[in-house]
Amino acid sequence: GKNVGILAMDIYFPPTCIQQEVLEAHDGASKGKYTIGLGQDCMAFCTEVEDVISMSLTVVTSLFEKYGIDPKQIGRLEVGSETVIDKSKSIKTFLMQIFEKSGNTDIEGVDSTNACYGGTAALFNCVNWVESSSWDGRYGLVVCTDSAVYAEGPARPTGGAAAIAILIGPDAPISFESKIRGSHMAHVYDFYKPNLASEYPVVDGKLSQTCYLIALDSCYKQLCNKYEKLKGKQFSLSDAEYFVFHSPYNKLVQKSFSRLLYGDFLRNASSIDEVAKEKLGPFSTLSGDESYQSRDLEKVTQQLAKPLYDAKVQPTTLLPKQVGNMYTASLYAAFASLIHNKHSTLAGKRVLLFSYGSGSTATMFSLQFREGQHPFSLSNIATVMDVTRKLKSRHEFPPEKFVETMKLMEHRYGAKDFVTSKDISLLSPGTYYLTEVDSMYRRFYAKK
């Protein structure tokens, strides 16, 4: 197949959320820390009736209905997630309930896990399959599903929850420029989940920020090198219309984009004008380590990058700011925001995506847009995702109720032999929900 890539997408996030301004006051943080300091507006979370399995059942069913896809048309299903519900049985096998009903059990693929990177691994697997000699002509389907929850403390406001489904095939409106890609993989302990009895990660916040930026710099450098070898000219920020980042919180995205501008400066790229050269001059001799520590460099680059950030990054930030870190779904929710905001002007444009999973694994890669044909057109993807309605129809929890929910979820994690309240009043019709976990830890779901 030619132009293999993304044919269709849909996103689901829980209707339950808390305003960051409210959480900030409740936590006794200084005013503006979560909203301006982290750059976040609101945070979605699962209540006891939802989890990563129910969210993925919901989003896959919705994608099939809205694009008129028969489950028989899927030949590969790959799930990316870092929310462990079972150490052996994959989330993919839960999703097989949808396919078994239609008589299709001939579907390759399982789950991929490494922090927030699993969704990208799943995506690459599906694209590679469609491009390979084992492709049987059917679609690939990628599902990214996560519930990001942190213990009480400074990381708690950087949670979130969502599931995204991405349909893969040839002649796509969003295709991969597979040669323009750079990865960075290393052994670091920045964020990990060694305590199997808890859903919460062990996280070194400061280290995780630096590891993210180190991986970003390294991927960008690799990507630029490959582009230059391939095209015989330099790559710089002006060669992509938009930049989409894995978004743990928006402030890190702002810092990341300005870091790329600094990268262009160090490589002496033509995109850097005289004013920028002069302002960045004093920082040209910093060592890598020094550059990650320098507040002055951060300030100057952020100032210089502001107009470019507004044009090339801001349109990607809606869902990550409104929903929070969705782990594997975070990058693709940022990408969904771009389609939501700019679908009518994207054709012919290039976008770079940066995927980061702690531990660490990271890839920067390039996608190209074209108009596409109904139902696989950019405008139809925006219509189907219906982001504005989904954001508007949410229910804001007061902080006490949010904390209470987190406590209940702590007890429920890894537990057996319980039924849920089955209070589904806040869920939209068509949403799957958890009804029971029996004495054998088997999980049961129903559809509203």
Chain center to CA of 217: 19
Phi, psi of 416 (to 5 degrees): -135, 175
- Number of chain positions touching ligand ACO (CB under 6 A): 22
**Site track 154-193 with ligand ACO (rule: CB under 6 A), x = hit:** xx--x--------------------------------x--
Among 37, 170, 375, 399, binds ligand ACO (CB under 6 A): 37
Q: Is 90 in the site for ligand ACO (CB under 6 A)?
A: no
6-14, 24-32, 54-62, 229-237 -> range binding ligand ACO (CB under 6 A): 24-32
Q: Is 32 in the site for ligand ACO (CB under 6 A)?
A: yes
Q: Which two tokens stand for residue 263?
A: 């990268």
The angle formed by the CA atoms of residues 232, 238 and 239, to the nearest 5 degrees, is: 45
- Residue whose CB is less far from ligand ACO, 250 or 368: 250
Q: Which of 116, 144, 211, 219 is catalytic?
A: 116
Helices (H), 51-117: 52-67, 91-101
Q: Tell the smallest beta-carbon distance from residue 275 to ligand ACO (Å).
A: 23
Q: Is 203 in the site for ligand ACO (CB under 6 A)?
A: yes
Active site residue 371: no
Residue nearest to ligand ACO (CB): 37
Q: Tell the smallest beta-carbon distance from residue 121 to ligand ACO (Å).
A: 15
DSSP β-ladder status, 160-169 and 5-12:
antiparallel
DSSP β-ladder status, 443-447 and 432-437:
antiparallel
Among 25, 31, 186, 395, binds ligand ACO (CB under 6 A): 31
Q: Is 251 in the site for ligand ACO (CB under 6 A)?
A: yes
Among 21, 26, 33, 234, binds ligand ACO (CB under 6 A): 33
69-77, 93-101, 153-161, 413-421 -> range binding ligand ACO (CB under 6 A): 153-161
Q: Tell the smallest beta-carbon distance from residue 281 to ligand ACO (Å).
A: 23
10 Å Cβ neighbour count for 359? 22
Could you tell me if 158 and 249 are in contact, meaning their C-beta atoms sit under 8 angstroms apart? Answer: yes
- Residue whose CB is less far from ligand ACO, 200 or 432: 200
Q: Tell the smallest beta-carbon distance from residue 28 to ligand ACO (Å).
A: 12
Residues in the chain: 448
Q: Tell the smallest beta-carbon distance from residue 150 to ligand ACO (Å).
A: 6
Q: Tell the smallest beta-carbon distance from residue 190 to ligand ACO (Å).
A: 6
- Residue whose CB is less far from ligand ACO, 90 or 358: 358
Q: Which two tokens stand for residue 19?
A: 């305003």
10 Å Cβ neighbour count for 215? 28
DSSP β-ladder status, 242-245 and 350-357:
parallel
Could you tell me if 163 and 81 are in contact, meaning their C-beta atoms sit under 8 angstroms apart? Answer: no
Q: Tell the smallest beta-carbon distance from residue 201 to ligand ACO (Å).
A: 7
Q: Tell the smallest beta-carbon distance from residue 325 to ligand ACO (Å).
A: 6
Phi, psi of 74 (to 5 degrees): -95, 130
Q: Which of 24, 50, 78, 82 is catalytic?
A: 82
Active site residue 116: yes
Q: Which two tokens stand for residue 307?
A: 């107009």
- Residue whose CB is less far from ligand ACO, 205 or 414: 205
Contacts with ligand ACO in 380-439 (CB under 6 A)? none
Contacts with ligand ACO in 318-347 (CB under 6 A)? 325
- Residue whose CB is less far from ligand ACO, 17 or 215: 215
Q: Which of 17, 219, 246, 343 is catalytic?
A: 246
- Residue whose CB is less far from ligand ACO, 283 or 292: 292
Active site residue 246: yes
Could you tell me if 394 and 214 are in contact, meaning their C-beta atoms sit under 8 angstroms apart? Answer: no
Handedness of CA 268, 273, 275, 276 (dihedral sign): negative
Q: Is 301 in the site for ligand ACO (CB under 6 A)?
A: no
Phi, psi of 434 (to 5 degrees): -80, 130
Beta-bridge partners for 18 = 43
Beta-bridge partners for 381 = none
- Please tell me whether residue 77 adopts helix, strand or coil conformation: strand
119-127, 248-256, 286-294, 375-383 -> range binding ligand ACO (CB under 6 A): 248-256
Phi, psi of 188 (to 5 degrees): -140, 155
DSSP string, 274-317: HHHHHHHGGGTT--HHHHHH-HHHHHHHHHHHHHHHHHHTGGG-
CA distance 151 to 124: 32
Handedness of CA 242, 243, 246, 251 (dihedral sign): negative
Where do contacts with ligand ACO occur on this chain (CB under 6 A)? Answer: 30-33, 36-38, 116, 154-155, 158, 191, 203, 205, 208-209, 212, 248, 251-252, 325, 358
- Provide the annotated active-site residues: 82, 116, 246
